[in-house]
Amino acid sequence: MTANIPKIHILFKFIEGPWGGGNQFLKALREYLRKEDVYSERPTDANVILFNSYPFGSEYLFNSAIKLKKNGDKILIHRIDGPIYSIRGSDQIIDRAIYNFNRLLADGTIFQSKWSRDKNYELGIEKSPHETIIMNAPDPAIFNPEGKRPPDKKIRLVATSWSGNIRRGFEIYRYLDEHLDFNRYEMTFVGNSPVEFKSIKYLKAVPSGELAGILKEHDIYITASRNDPCSNALIEALHCGLPAVARNDGGHPEIVGEAGTLFDDEEGVIGAIEKVAQNYAHFQAQIKLPTSDEIGQRYCEFVLSIYEDSLSSKYHPKRINFFGNINFKTNITKMKVQNRLHSMIMVMRNKEREILP
């Protein structure tokens, strides 16, 4: 398998410790590629560059990608998230920058869910002759069902979110904090929350190893995030052996499958929890997700298909011309300003929530 795979480099600013889902997934993917001896630590030595969506806070990576593509001898694969507009409810200008980059430089596109692909189509991304859908998978050495605590009389729920954006489902968690029967259930939230809880146990964000241990101490995972294209938090919990209760939105239905129940709003969430609690063994037995190795292999197969087409001259990798370069850099400057404004607004909103009664 790996003998014919070209060398791949992930052009991404990796961050250690608890961080966003994309960071955690790409670290796991990098480990798989290293294990298969197809990873290049230096981008200049790679045949294929994997670029992740929009690199918030690391916009210099756009320039790095442009430099690597100037000679047209490298293939660039673009891993698409979002759309950002669907997740945030604003900032469609950032999606346009992503689509512009994809059109100018990407030789192949990987979407993380069918929902994400269709939503990006709706907003205007161009279809590519080389595109696919590949779900994420966590590091199996960390997120696995080994040592998971069996359920007790009191069912233990858990929710997690690295992001404190209110659209990550916090209105539902606040509803549960006020209406869940805590004589029958316990609930823990791990991560960053813009709201205070009275009955739900709150834990700050922790590294992946600690998070996996916390997940295995619980029975059911719940996620209420809106327009989440491919929730790594949900995937991590399922890999730890927890059936799920998820909002019927975004990529959640594709991930959960038969391993849990879906809900639409506050009226349905407690009933969905009850259904999984009363049929726990059935839903747990339905957890069937691709392993990290299977996901890594799909990445390699997709890369190889484009690489072989380029070798046989069926496909010629894209190059960026002078005018395209200038146009793109102008758009990126606008995007950086837009994202800084968004960050400032989010900080102000969180401060306002802190002083609300």
Same domain, 323 and 240: no
Same domain, 6 and 70: yes
- The residues that bridge with 160 in the sheet, in sequence order, are 190
Whether residue 197 is contained in a domain is answered as: yes
Q: Which among 285, 302, 321 is the end of a domain?
A: 285
Same domain, 122 and 34: yes
Whether residue 149 is contained in a domain is answered as: no
pTM for the full model? 0.86
pLDDT at 212: 96
Average confidence (pLDDT) over 166-194: 94
Tens of pLDDT, residues 123-139: 999 999 999 999 999 99
Same domain, 280 and 303: no
pLDDT at 324: 62
Whether residue 150 is contained in a domain is answered as: no
Q: What residues contact 73, with CB distance under 8 A and at least 6 apart?
A: 317
Same domain, 160 and 125: no
| Number of neighbouring beta carbons within 10 Å of residue 3 | 6
Q: How many domains does the chain have?
A: 2
Q: Which among 251, 285, 319 is the end of a domain?
A: 285
Same domain, 115 and 161: no
Same domain, 81 and 178: no
| Number of neighbouring beta carbons within 10 Å of residue 279 | 12
Whether residue 147 is contained in a domain is answered as: no
State both tokens at 206: 């922790």
Same domain, 167 and 213: yes
Whether residue 146 is contained in a domain is answered as: no
| Helices 92-105/322-355 angle, 10° precision | 150
Same domain, 109 and 229: no
Whether residue 172 is contained in a domain is answered as: yes
Same domain, 273 and 342: no
- Asked if the model's pLDDT at residue 105 lies above 70, the reply is yes
Tens of pLDDT, residues 266-316: 999 999 999 999 999 999 999 999 999 999 999 999 999 999 999 999 999
Same domain, 262 and 320: no
Handedness of CA 241, 193, 257, 186 (dihedral sign): positive
pLDDT > 90 fraction of the chain, expressed in percent and rounded: 69
Query: Which CATH number belongs to the domain containing residue 239 in this structure?
Result: 3.40.50.2000
Cis peptide before 83 (omega within 30 of 0): yes
Whether residue 357 is contained in a domain is answered as: no
In terms of phi and psi (left: phi > 0; alpha: psi -120 to 50; beta: otherwise), the region of 188 is beta
Q: Which among 258, 285, 312 is the end of a domain?
A: 285
**Structural domain that includes position 162:** 155-285
Whether residue 142 is contained in a domain is answered as: no
State both tokens at 108: 């192949």
Lowest mean pLDDT among 20-34, 185-199, 220-234, 301-315: 20-34
The 3-state secondary structure of 215-248, one letter per residue: HHCCCEEEECCCCCCCCHHHHHHHHCCCCEEEEC
